[in-house]
Amino acid sequence: MKRLWNSIKDALGIDTRPRLSSEALQEMFKTRYRAFRELLTANSAALEAMAEMEVAVAEEKTYSISFIRSKCTVIIVNLYKMIRNLLLMSDGRYVNLEPAFHRIEEQIIDIIEKKISGNDAGEWLLPINQVNRGIAAQCGEKMANIGEVATLPGVTIPPGFVITASASRAFYLNNDLYNAINRFHHLIDINDIEDISKKSEAIGKLIIDSPLPPSLEQQIYANYDRLTELAGRDILLAVRSSALGEDLEQASFAGLYDSVLNVKRDGLIKAYKEVLASKYSAAAISYRLNKGYMHEDSTMCVGCMIMIEAMVSGVCYSRALSGNDQEMDIFFSQGSAEGIVDGTKNAGHAVMNRAAPFHLVAMKRAEDGGEGFSEAKALELAMVAMRLEEHFGAPQDIEWCLDAANCLYILQSRPISALLFRDRQEEEETVIDDGRLLMRGGVTGCGGAGCGPVRVVRNHADMMAFQKGEVLLVEHPLPEWAPLIQQAAALVAESGSEAGHLATISREFALPSLFALEQATHTLDDGDDITVDASNRAIYRGRVEELLQEVRKQPNLMSGSPVEKTMTEVLKLITPLNLTDPASPYFRGAYCKTMHDITRFCHEKSVTEMFSFGQRYQFADGASKQMITEDAKPLDWHVINLADGFSDDFDTKSNFIRISQITSQPMQAIWEGMHAYPWEGPPAGGVRGMGNIIFQSAMNPTLDPAISSGLTKKNYFLISRNYCNLSVRLGYHYAMVEAFISSLRTERYVTFRFRGGAADETNRVGRIELISQVLEYFQFRVEKTGDALAARVEKREQKFIADRLRVLGYLCIHTRQIDMVIDNPQHFQRYRNKFQTEIEAMIGNDQ
Amino acid sequence: MTSERHFKPEAILNIRLLVVDDEDDFREIIHKRMSRFGVNPNLAACCSDALASMEAQPADVVILDVAMPGMDGIQCLGKIKGRWPLAEVIILTGHASVKSGMDGMQRGAFDYCLKPIDVMELLEKVELAAQKTLVNREEGMA
């Protein structure tokens, strides 16, 4: 309404502009310019953080939840700064912006901040025979499965109890551990194994030193005493991890968490805390970071079961790992099974058929025992295994043992990770026989080939010394070497099998690996270059090119992980740009849907505010001046001085200014780029009809065309000594160049926007493609949407920034009207070459 | 880094800087690196030390940690801005949180930065805050 009244008054020639003293206006203008400058710096910081998030996703980099939280914080804080400054500059316009911003902010917080509630009413302890998959969220998959196993006929498990997720959460919350541990995580460097190791120790110590809630401690002892009474003898417990979210398809967490064995009553509390702390072993931290899991994602439940004194123990896969669906695998050895999954023991191997009546297909005993494992027991185990598979509806990975009385106990049952199955190609092994062969044999963990210098790793110090690209050579494939998997070129172990934890992890990371290659540490010398052909189980001296042709495909480790999901969700609220056209009726604060919209809106409006200040307040110093040539011919360019952009000898009363009177460094650079080469005119063959006249008149890009009024709006430079914003409307396209060249890196950037054209869409998009190729060649970061383009460079040397402005000045002039002919590939190529050659000659080749 | 040679402290040399952080190592490193550029910040290990230091010798720019024993950085910010409204405060924290970031900004922080931070980058932020504080001072006198 007020606006309407004003426009009526305008129409009647009544001046509605506020009147203020010239000093007051000067002060106001200065204050606004300072706010504008702060807004621009905040804009840069926010856009940089957005770009970093996009790059992390596009390049399938590994990123952590701390990364997401940091970037979101940077973006939100800087957007808030932008809004605050825009409101300061605009006499309180744009009131709808803040509510829109806070709405998006709250949605982002909901996504990235995990709230772990303290009012968790769940039981802290449960007897093992009372747990099942219905309450897996309280006891972890592992214990849920084993509890359920106990209900099946003919299946026996050791008695025990579970310390639940609620108990673990109560312990964390009582000691403020979530926050304390997050503080360590924020600063962890994923590539620095030593750093991870140190933090792992510190977190471990923190957990061990924190007291349990007293009533939890009492309940744990009470349960132990109940078990003792039940057994009627002194008992030892196996205290095992059963983490939530463990054993998922995409992430095995194979062997990364500890079990503590042979635990007596007085060691129980410490053992419990040790298992909790094993969630933060260096291997587990590194694995989670690489695979995109948060430590809050996996609450640690702990199972305590009576130790069975095992005569024989092992692992059974109810479907053979070879992929043969008629058979199952049983691995076994003397004593406890830990050695098999740890990879420290070479196991015996029995193959059984999968349907009743069960029978033995093949049996191979290891040298060091397993004699106690009879064929009869193998049949019993096969039967139990199929019963488990039937119950759970999928092939099972089963840990089992036989006690002194030859009684069969099931210790664990879980679905076989898909990663365990080998490809069922009966691959012909090929070996190159030209004298370079060093070793043959072993078991393939993960196929493929890798090459690098050998590094034998036996201890922590060796681990710290490990360099990216080396071949990891170990005696035993212990899970603690897992952090090296990401860095190694290949893995070779003297012991172990394809069933071990490290083998599983090597498959997840697509690292060529070879196990049970005896004498490897004696045959291969530290530091020698070798090529490991894991598929064909062979090792060669030097680099065998023909084996390394196939590029090792790094799988997207984050795929499907909680961190990736968080990123996808949060990016939807950050990066899409809906407000693209300032002329559209939807270009308003209330329509901002993403953080990118907010930055775009604030930026656009802040430029407009600075632009219109002189006019609105009748402030001569802030009004526009027209450019003239040195011999006083008028040019079609206009300049508004925001601060210190004109030389001291310029008379502020004058309406005309020469380029020599401009002190703005960025404007000078753009100007140079515009004038380095004369425009060659509109492209031949693209000139049609009435357009011809306009094109002709535009032959000299800087002379004021008499017919411009209808088609071209004025072209403005907004400047200060360090700043320039140029809006150009040349013919039918719109371009915006903006830069700040400060002595401070934080303040340095160039940004470019380009849109439109007179040609049809294919051609307009073709021109965008051409410009984007040239910009990328000159190291801009480019984003294209349809016939619009945005490009940016920040925080580089001052000369680099100034040269980018010359590039943009050049392009503003020379891309005119080429959209008429760009669909011809020859034209495309010719322009590209011409642009790159001329620009390089202009700025000197600093590529 | 080549940029080290290019950074010329200007406004920063005309102001008093205070660094508040409970980590001894951090204060020491910051002090050492900044002194190479002729910047000699006062140091405080907690909020009450910071307030005492401000009483004795008011700082124009304050770098403030968030998680500290006793009063946390956000509360401390409130105290500082309440008593010395012209001072500019840069929050520097090791634990990113949107909420605490917004809390800090709404209570008038100049900027909110995350550790680890390059000393050059931090110096630039201080330089910008210093420029602003010099303007504050000028306007405060006018």
Residue pair A290/A489 in contact by the 8 Å Cβ criterion? no
User: What does the pLDDT read at residue A174?
Assistant: 92
CA distance A839 to chain B (A): 26
Select the residue of A38, A73, A187 nearest B101 (Cβ to Cβ): A73
DSSP lists the bridge partners of residue A640 as A624, A718
Within 8 A of A80 by CB-CB distance, chain B residues are 102, 105-106
B98 touches chain A (CB under 8 A): yes
For residue B6, give the DSSP letter: H
Among A138-147, A322-331, A612-621, B70-79, top mean pLDDT goes to B70-79
Select the residue of B2, B95, B114 nearest A183 (Cβ to Cβ): B95
Name the fold adopted by B11-141.
Answer: Rossmann fold (3.40.50)
∠ CA(A79), CA(B136), CA(B64), 5° rounding?
60
Confidence of residue A3 (pLDDT cuts 50, 70, 90): low
Instruction: Please tell me which residue of chain B has the smallest CA distance to A85.
Output: B110
State the average pLDDT over residues B121-127: 93
The ipTM estimated for the assembled molecules is: 0.94
Q: What would the pLDDT profile of A537-567 be if each residue is shown by its tens digit?
A: 999 999 998 888 876 666 777 777 888 989 9
User: What does the pLDDT read at residue A115?
Assistant: 66
Q: Which residues contact A17 (CB under 8 A, 6 or more apart)?
A: A615, A616, A617, A618
Closest CA to A573 of A104, A216, A176: A104
Strands A733-740 and A749-756, how do they pair? antiparallel
User: Strand order in A733-740's β-sheet?
Assistant: A656-658, A624-628, A634-643, A715-720, A723-730, A733-740, A749-756, A788-794, A781-785
Cβ A113–B99 below 8 Å, yes or no? yes
Which ranges constitute the DSSP H helices of A676-797? 691-697, 708-711, 761-777
Q: Is pLDDT at A323 greater than 80 in this prediction? A: no
B13 touches chain A (CB under 8 A): no
Lowest mean pLDDT among A347-351, A630-634, A698-702: A698-702
Summary mean pLDDT of chain A = 86
Percent of all residues in chain A with a pLDDT value above 70, rounded to a whole number? 88
Q: Which two tokens stand for residue A289?
A: 């970071």
Residue pair A274/A258 in contact by the 8 Å Cβ criterion? yes
Q: What would the pLDDT profile of B6-45 be if each residue is shown by its tens digit?
A: 677 889 999 999 999 999 999 999 999 999 888 999 999 9
- Count Cβ atoms below 10 Å from residue A394 Cβ, excluding itself: 14
- Count Cβ atoms below 10 Å from residue A838 Cβ, excluding itself: 14
Closest CA to A794 of A754, A839, A746: A746
Residue pair A351/A365 in contact by the 8 Å Cβ criterion? no
Cβ A72–B98 below 8 Å, yes or no? yes
d(CA A470, CA A777): 34
CA distance B50 to chain A (A): 23
Q: What would the pLDDT profile of A70-93 be if each residue is shown by its tens digit?
A: 999 999 999 999 999 999 999 888
Q: Is pLDDT at A624 greater than 50 in this prediction? A: yes
Q: Which residues contact A778 (CB under 8 A, 6 or more apart)?
A: A804, A807, A839
The correct answer on CATH 3.30.470.20 for the domain covering A312-420 is yes
Distances (CA, A) of A4 to A9, A592, A612: 9, 26, 19
DSSP lists the bridge partners of residue A596 as none
Closest CA to A289 of A372, A367, A185: A185
Helix (H) or strand (E) holding A226: helix A214-231
Closest CA to B41 of B10, B20, B24, B66: B20
Q: Is pLDDT at A626 greater than 90 in this prediction? A: yes
d(CA A626, CA A640): 9
Segment 15-54 of chain B within 8 Å of chain A by CB: none
State the average pLDDT over residues A620-625: 82
User: Which has more confidence, A455 or A817?
Assistant: A455
User: What does the pLDDT read at residue A12?
Assistant: 54
d(CA A515, CA A474): 10
- The CATH 3.30.470.20 portion of chain A extends over 312-420
Cβ B114–A73 below 8 Å, yes or no? yes
Cβ A186–B94 below 8 Å, yes or no? yes
State the average pLDDT over residues A303-313: 92
User: What does the pLDDT read at residue A116?
Assistant: 63
Q: What would the pLDDT profile of A250-266 be if each residue is shown by its tens digit?
A: 566 767 788 899 999 99
Residue pair A237/A224 in contact by the 8 Å Cβ criterion? yes
∠ CA(A223), CA(A225), CA(A229), 5° rounding?
115
Type of residue at B115: K
User: What does the pLDDT read at residue A357?
Assistant: 86
Q: Which two tokens stand for residue A74?
A: 């940077």
Q: Which two tokens stand for residue A165?
A: 């997720």
B112 touches chain A (CB under 8 A): yes
Is A705 in a helix, a strand, or coil?
coil
Select the residue of A70, A80, A179 nearest B96 (Cβ to Cβ): A70
Strands B17-20 and A781-785, how do they pair? unpaired
Q: Is pLDDT at A306 greater than 90 in this prediction? A: yes
A34 touches chain B (CB under 8 A): yes
User: What does the pLDDT read at residue A702?
Assistant: 40
Residue pair A142/A242 in contact by the 8 Å Cβ criterion? yes
Confidence of residue A338 (pLDDT cuts 50, 70, 90): low
For domain A125-306, give the CATH number.
3.30.1490.20
Q: Is pLDDT at A795 greater than 80 in this prediction? A: yes
The gap between the terminal CA atoms of chain B, to the nearest Å, is 41
B73 touches chain A (CB under 8 A): no
Helix (H) or strand (E) holding A658: strand A656-658
CA distance B96 to chain A (A): 5
Confidence of residue A689 (pLDDT cuts 50, 70, 90): very low
Cβ B125–A746 below 8 Å, yes or no? yes
SS percent in chain B: helix, strand, coil, step 5: 50, 15, 35
CA distance A87 to chain B (A): 14
Q: Is pLDDT at A192 greater than 90 in this prediction? A: no
Q: Is pLDDT at A759 greater than 50 in this prediction? A: yes
B84 touches chain A (CB under 8 A): no
State the average pLDDT over residues A402-407: 91
State the average pLDDT over residues A650-666: 93
A109 touches chain B (CB under 8 A): yes
Measured in residues, chain A has a length of 847
User: What does the pLDDT read at residue A703?
Assistant: 36
Q: From the centroid of its chain, how far is CA A726? A: 35
Name the fold adopted by A437-547.
Answer: Glucose Oxidase; domain 1 (3.50.30)
A103 touches chain B (CB under 8 A): no
State the average pLDDT over residues A200-213: 95
d(CA A50, CA A46): 6
Is A795 in a helix, a strand, or coil?
coil
Confidence of residue A53 (pLDDT cuts 50, 70, 90): very high
User: What does the pLDDT read at residue A420?
Assistant: 61
Select the residue of A81, A109, A182 nearest B99 (Cβ to Cβ): A109
Q: What would the pLDDT profile of B60-84 be if each residue is shown by its tens digit?
A: 999 999 989 889 999 999 999 999 9
State the average pLDDT over residues A303-317: 91
Within 8 A of B115 by CB-CB distance, chain A residues are 186-187
Instruction: Please tell me which residue of chain A has the smallest CA distance to B66.
Output: A183
Cβ B96–A66 below 8 Å, yes or no? yes
Type of residue at A829: Q
Type of residue at A287: Y
Q: Which residues contact A283 (CB under 8 A, 6 or more apart)?
A: A256, A479, A480, A481, A482, A483
d(CA A661, CA A651): 10
Q: What would the pLDDT profile of B84-115 be if each residue is shown by its tens digit?
A: 999 999 999 988 889 999 999 999 999 999 98
Among A13-17, A371-375, A632-636, A748-752, top mean pLDDT goes to A748-752
DSSP labels for A68-132?
Answer: HHHHHHHHHHHHHHHHHHHHHHTTT--TTHHHHHHHHHHHHHHHH-----S-----SEEEGGG--
Confidence of residue A46 (pLDDT cuts 50, 70, 90): very high
Within 8 A of A112 by CB-CB distance, chain B residues are 98
Confidence of residue A707 (pLDDT cuts 50, 70, 90): very low
Residue pair A357/A516 in contact by the 8 Å Cβ criterion? no
State the average pLDDT over residues A752-761: 83
d(CA A318, CA A358): 12
